[in-house]
Amino acid sequence: MATNQDIKKLEGLDDYKYGFADPDEAVFRTKKGLDREVVEQISAMKGEPEWMLAYRLKALEHYVARPMPDWGADLSEFNLENIYNYVRPAESEGRSWDDVPDTIKKTFDRLGIPQAEQKFLAGVGAQYESEMVYHKIQEQLESKGVIFVSIEDGLRKHPDLFREYFGTVIPYTDNKFAALNSAVWSGGSFIYVPPNTKIDLPLQAYFRLNSANVGQYERTLIIVDEGAQVHYVEGCTAPIYSTDSFHSGVIEIIVKKGARSRYTTIQNWSNNVYNLVTQRAMVHEDASHEWVDANIGSKVTMKYPSCYLIGKGAHGEILSLAFAAGHQHQDTGGKVIHAAPYTTSKITSKSISKAGGRASYRGLLKVHEGAVGSKSNVVCDALLLDESSRSDTYPYIEIDENDVSVGHEASVSKIGEEQLFYLMSRGMSEDEAASMVVSGFIEPLVRELPMEYAVEMNRLIQLQMEGSIG
């Protein structure tokens, strides 16, 4: 339960909020004030080693000193106070099923999500009976030497491995929100796959959810050793209801020589959430990494999964989908850095905007000098469902090497009257017709999802599409 002390600390944050406009003062107050204490408290609560606390504190300093990014989505309405809501321990939220908005409950029902799971997803602390399944998978993984634990357990039980890689892919100096996450991270996964080990089934964060709730500041570290293979899936298509209006994760992945990995995210936060996530893979020689990233929910998402191709012949792929409706702004895309010869990459971005939603593709493709023979292809397709919606493309391409091949194509289309008429002439209602066109549009991404996610994804899109035309 939240203690009086906690509440007092939260109240104190108001000072911080007003001080924030004046950077000098803000730095001063934060250093002196509550935030440092909060970080110390988190670290102590988790029983962390000294080095981690020191790391967190340095990150906090950096976070405070760094200005808000002004190049992406509009964050001006963003309420800083909410950033500190994490102070409440997860189990003290004391929320009840009755507090969950009806719209969310209805969506759960229509997606066919079992009641027990619904309560869990809504964050009302119900037990989700996945423990048995989870243990069985754990046994199989352990027999192969695979580590798949919470990030906290990773630090506790595998301190050397953890320390060797933590923060190496995304240092806290990377951006303001990476700094924030580095200071206050809590929850997430730690995965290590030993050399030449192939995991056939996708690893799913979902199975672990009841033991370590996906936090506001989730932190995930995945190490895929030489020649190994893994696919990790996080999130789920059901709307994640959160009273916290801020989510800022950091995902670091190291893909060693000849290894292959894929990380799939389906994000459907409720539409009060600012979702600002940094995820990056360091891809070594002849290794490959793929990001499959679907953003359906949230109020604002800023997320650009990236691949740093640092070894000869490394390959990176980003398949990104954004659905922006109403007051949503999905500012998503991808980043690929070619820093070694014969590296290849592919970015495919698909966005759908409806009912005033805004979807932006923001991508960076950089080829360093010396990355000879590198190839990259970027394709951005946007689908607008009505006149009030918006789509933008911000493709940044920096090439410092002559011997490369780079392709970029972008298209914006509207659901055509002719397409709707054609489908309707076969007996489909206008909504069904529009939903079919959209399903077709996102098919290249859905095809890449594990079966059960693909099915849910299609249902979700249909739900999103209801009443969207006319």
Partner 1 sequence: MGSALEIRDLHVNVDEKEILKGVDLTIKPGEVHALMGPNGSGKSTLANSLMGHPGYQVTGGQVLFKGQNILDLAPDERAKMGLFLAFQYPVAIPGVSLANFLRSAINARRKMDDPEDKGIAVGEFRTLLKKKMDLLEMGHEFAGRYLNDGFSGGEKKRAEILQMATLEPEIAILDETDSGLDIDALRIVASGVNALAGPDLGVLVITHYQRILNYISPQFVHIMLAGKIVESGGPELAEHLEEQGYDWIREKQADAVESP
92: alpha, beta or left? (left if phi > 0; alpha if psi -120 to 50): alpha
In contact, 214 and 246? CB cutoff 8 Å: no
Question: According to CB under 8 A, which one of 416, 452, 466, 467 is a site residue for partner 1?
Answer: 416
Q: Which is nearer to partner 1, 6 or 430 (CB)?
A: 430
- Name the residue type at position 53: L
Q: Which is nearer to partner 1, 402 or 425 (CB)?
A: 425
Task: Choose the stretch contacting partner 1; rule: CB under 8 A; options: 82-90, 240-248, 357-365, 414-422.
Answer: 414-422
Per CB under 8 A, does 462 bind partner 1? no
DSSP 41-77: HHHHHTT--HHHHHHHHHHHHHHHHSPPP-SSS--TT
- Minimum distance from residue 72 beta carbon to partner 1 (Å): 29
* DSSP H or E stretch at residue 188: none
Per CB under 8 A, does 386 bind partner 1? no
- Minimum distance from residue 3 beta carbon to partner 1 (Å): 53
Residues 428-447 that bind partner 1 (CB under 8 A): 428-430, 432-433, 436-437, 439-444
* DSSP H or E stretch at residue 115: helix 115-121
Question: According to CB under 8 A, which one of 138, 271, 419, 462 is a site residue for partner 1?
Answer: 419
Length of the chain: 470
- Minimum distance from residue 422 beta carbon to partner 1 (Å): 5
In contact, 133 and 141? CB cutoff 8 Å: no
In whole angstroms, give the CA distance from residue 464 to residue 296.
9
Q: Which is nearer to partner 1, 67 or 427 (CB)?
A: 427
Per CB under 8 A, does 425 bind partner 1? yes
Q: Which is nearer to partner 1, 371 or 380 (CB)?
A: 380
- Minimum distance from residue 424 beta carbon to partner 1 (Å): 4
- Minimum distance from residue 451 beta carbon to partner 1 (Å): 15
Angle between helices 430-446 and 451-465 (to 10 degrees): 150
- Minimum distance from residue 161 beta carbon to partner 1 (Å): 42
Q: Which is nearer to partner 1, 199 or 465 (CB)?
A: 465
Residues 278-297 that bind partner 1 (CB under 8 A): none
Task: Choose the stretch contacting partner 1; rule: CB under 8 A; options: 300-308, 336-344, 356-364, 425-433.
Answer: 425-433
Q: Which is nearer to partner 1, 98 or 418 (CB)?
A: 418
Task: Output DSSP code: residue 402.
Answer: S
Per CB under 8 A, does 322 bind partner 1? no
Closest CA to 262 of 116, 74, 450: 450
Query: Between vectors from CA 382 to CA 446 and to CA 377, what angle results, nearest 5°?
Result: 75
Per CB under 8 A, does 103 bind partner 1? no
- Minimum distance from residue 446 beta carbon to partner 1 (Å): 9
- Minimum distance from residue 431 beta carbon to partner 1 (Å): 10
Instruction: Extract the tokens encoding 190.
Output: 């730690």
In whole angstroms, give the CA distance from residue 64 to residue 329.
25
Per CB under 8 A, does 161 bind partner 1? no
| Residue in the block written with tokens 């933008």 | 392
- Minimum distance from residue 426 beta carbon to partner 1 (Å): 4
DSSP 408-465: EEEEEEE--HHHHHHHHTTT--HHHHHHHHHHHHHHHHHTTS-HHHHHHHHHHHHHHH
**Residue 263: C-alpha distances to residues 7, 198, 253, 335, 443 (Å):** 38, 15, 9, 15, 18
In whole angstroms, give the CA distance from residue 361 to residue 352.
11
Q: Are strands 203-204 and 147-150 parallel, antiparallel or unpaired?
A: unpaired
Q: Count interface residues toward partner 1 (CB under 8 A).
A: 24
Per CB under 8 A, does 76 bind partner 1? no
Task: Choose the stretch contacting partner 1; rule: CB under 8 A; options: 96-104, 191-199, 312-320, 417-425.
Answer: 417-425
In the complex, the residues that contact partner 1 under the rule CB under 8 A are: 416-419, 421-430, 432-433, 436-437, 439-444
